[in-house]
Amino acid sequence: MTFKNNLKTALTGLRTHKVRTILTILGIVIGIASVILVMSVSRGAERLILAQIQGLGTKTIAVLPGRQPTGPSDFAQIFSDSLTERDLTLLQRRENVPNLENIMPVVFGGESASYESETYRLTIFGATDLMSKIFDLQQPAQGSFFTEDDVRRRAEVAVIGSEVKEKLFGLNNAVGERIRVKNRNFRVVGVLPKIGQKSFFNFDQMMIVPHSAAQQYVFGIKYFHRFIIEADSEESIARVVRDVETTLRNSHGISDPDKDDFHVETTEDLAETVGAITQVLTVLLVSIAAISLLVGGVGIMNIMLVSVTERTREIGLRKAVGATRRVILKQFLIEAIILTFVGGILGIVLGVSLYLLISLAITQFLGLRWSFSVSVMSVVLGLAVSAFIGIVFGLYPAQKASQKSPIEALRYE
Amino acid sequence: MIETKNLSKIYTTDGVETPALRSVDLKIKKGEFLAIMGPSGSGKSTLLHILGFLDNYTGGEFYFDGKLADTFSDDDLARLRNEQVGFIFQSFNLLPRATVFENVRLPLLYSKIPEKDWEVLVRQAVESVGLSHRIDYLSSKLSGGEKQRAAIARSLVCDPQIIFADEPTGNLDSKSGQVVMDIIQKLSTEQNRTIILVTHETYTSQYAERIITLKDGKLESDRKVANRHIAKDGFFK
CB A134 within 8 A of CB A102: yes
How many Å apart are CA A28 and CA A33, to the nearest integer?
Answer: 8
The arithmetic mean of pLDDT across residues B146-162, rounded, is: 94
CB B34 within 8 A of CB B44: no
Q: Do A321 and B106 touch (CB under 8 A)?
A: yes
Is residue A74 over pLDDT 60? Answer: no
Specify if A67 maps to a domain.
no
- One domain for residues A118 and A232: yes
Is residue A353 over pLDDT 60? Answer: yes
Specify if A58 maps to a domain.
no
Q: Do B115 and A2 touch (CB under 8 A)?
A: yes
Residue from A83, A326, A59 nearest A223 by CA: A83
Model confidence at A367, in pLDDT bands (50, 70, 90)?
A: low
Q: Which distant-in-sequence residues (6+ apart) come within 8 Å of B33 by Cβ?
A: B185, B188, B194, B195, B197, B207, B208, B209, B210
Domain end residue (candidates: A207, A227, A260): A260
The arithmetic mean of pLDDT across residues B135-153, rounded, is: 93
- Beta-carbon contacts below 8 Å between A and B: 66
Counts for chain B of helices (H) and strands (E), in that order:
7, 10
Say what the alpha-carbon torsion angle B219, B221, B223, B228 is, to the nearest 10 degrees.
-90
Specify if A59 maps to a domain.
no
Sequence-ordered alpha helix ranges (H) in A55-147? 85-92, 131-134
- One domain for residues A329 and A404: yes
How many Å apart are CA A347 and CA A289, to the nearest integer?
Answer: 13
pTM: 0.70
Counting the structural domains of chain A, the total is 2
Q: Do B106 and A317 touch (CB under 8 A)?
A: yes
By DSSP bridging, strand A206-210 and strand A118-127 are: parallel
Specify if A335 maps to a domain.
yes
Q: Would you state the pLDDT for residue A235?
A: 84
Residue-range definition of the domain harbouring residue A310: 3-53+272-410
- One domain for residues A183 and A289: no
- One domain for residues A182 and A110: yes
- One domain for residues A251 and A344: no
Q: Tell me, what DSSP letter sits at residue A146?
A: -
- One domain for residues A44 and A142: no
Q: Do A322 and B78 touch (CB under 8 A)?
A: yes
Is residue A282 over pLDDT 50? Answer: yes
Nearest CB neighbour to B95, from listed A314, A323, A408: A314
CB B180 within 8 A of CB B172: yes
Residue from A277, A174, A2, A249 nearest B113 by CA: A2
Residue A61 identity = I
Q: Would you state the pLDDT for residue B237?
A: 34
Q: Do B82 and A317 touch (CB under 8 A)?
A: no
Residue from A272, A266, A202 nearest A234 by CA: A266
Domain end residue (candidates: A232, A260, A288): A260
Q: Do A324 and B78 touch (CB under 8 A)?
A: yes
Q: Would you state the pLDDT for residue A20?
A: 83
The arithmetic mean of pLDDT across residues B13-36, rounded, is: 91
Q: Which distant-in-sequence residues (6+ apart) come within 8 Å of A366 by Cβ?
A: A197
Q: Would you state the pLDDT for residue A13?
A: 83
How many Å apart are CA A264 and CA A270, to the nearest integer?
Answer: 10
How crowded is residue B77: how many other Cβ atoms within 10 Å of its Cβ?
20
- One domain for residues A102 and A29: no
Q: Do A322 and B110 touch (CB under 8 A)?
A: yes
pLDDT digits (tens, 9 = 90+) for A260-271: 888 888 877 777
Q: Would you state the pLDDT for residue A153?
A: 92
List CB contacts (< 8 A) between A411 and chain B. Answer: none
Q: Do B98 and A324 touch (CB under 8 A)?
A: no
Nearest CB neighbour to A323, from listed B53, B78, B95: B78
Model confidence at A73, in pLDDT bands (50, 70, 90)?
A: low
Say what the alpha-carbon torsion angle B119, B96, B51, B164 is, to the nearest 10 degrees.
-60
Q: Do A407 and B49 touch (CB under 8 A)?
A: yes
pLDDT digits (tens, 9 = 90+) for B122-134: 999 999 999 999 9
Q: Would you state the pLDDT for residue B233?
A: 55
CB B200 within 8 A of CB B55: no
- One domain for residues A300 and A254: no
A327 in contact with chain B, both atoms CB, cutoff 8 A? yes
The arithmetic mean of pLDDT across residues A17-37, rounded, is: 86
Model confidence at A70, in pLDDT bands (50, 70, 90)?
A: low
Is residue A254 over pLDDT 90? Answer: no
Residue from B160, B157, B202, B158 nearest B181 by CA: B202
pLDDT digits (tens, 9 = 90+) for B68-121: 998 999 999 999 999 999 999 999 999 988 999 999 999 999 999 999 999 999
The arithmetic mean of pLDDT across residues A215-240, rounded, is: 89
> How near does any CA of chain B get to the CA of A396, in Å?
19
pLDDT digits (tens, 9 = 90+) for B176-228: 999 999 999 999 988 899 999 999 888 899 999 999 999 999 999 999 988 88
Residues 17-76 of A with CB under 8 A from B: 17
Specify if A370 maps to a domain.
yes
Q: Where is average pLDDT lowest: A186-200, A273-287, B34-48?
A: A273-287
Average pLDDT of chain A is 85
- One domain for residues A241 and A290: no
Q: Which distant-in-sequence residues (6+ apart) come within 8 Å of A48 by Cβ?
A: A368, A369, A370, A371
Domain end residue (candidates: A260, A288, A313): A260
Q: Would you state the pLDDT for residue B29?
A: 92
- The residue that leads in pLDDT, A371 or A334, is A334
How many Å apart are CA A351 and CA A40, to the nearest integer?
Answer: 9
Q: Do A324 and B74 touch (CB under 8 A)?
A: yes
3-state secondary structure A281-311: HHHHHHHHHHHHHHHHHHHHHHHHHHCHHHH
Q: Do B109 and A323 touch (CB under 8 A)?
A: yes
A92 in contact with chain B, both atoms CB, cutoff 8 A? no
| Best mutation target, A309, A407, A408, to test chain B (most B CBs within 10 A) | A407
How many Å apart are CA A349 and CA A325, to the nearest integer?
Answer: 36
Q: Would you state the pLDDT for residue B236?
A: 41
The domain limits of chain B are 31-53+74-224
- One domain for residues A150 and A118: yes
Average pLDDT of chain B is 90
Architecture of the structural domain at B31-53+74-224? 3-Layer(aba) Sandwich (3.40)
With CA atoms as reference, the chain B residue closest to A8 would be: B109
Interface of B with A (CB under 8 A): 49, 53-56, 74-75, 78-79, 81-83, 87, 89, 93, 95, 97-98, 102, 106-107, 109-111, 115, 154, 158
Q: Within 13 Å of residue A112, how many CA atoms lie on the same side as its CB?
A: 6
Residue from B152, B206, B201, B131 nearest B173 by CA: B201
Model confidence at B235, in pLDDT bands (50, 70, 90)?
A: very low
Q: Would you state the pLDDT for residue B165?
A: 94
Q: Do A320 and B106 touch (CB under 8 A)?
A: no
pLDDT digits (tens, 9 = 90+) for A308-335: 777 888 889 999 999 999 998 888 888 8
Is residue A214 over pLDDT 80? Answer: yes
> How near does any CA of chain B get to the CA of A319, in Å?
7
Model confidence at A78, in pLDDT bands (50, 70, 90)?
A: low
Residue A19, CA distances (Å) to A27, A85, A198, A245, B112 in order? 12, 75, 51, 69, 34
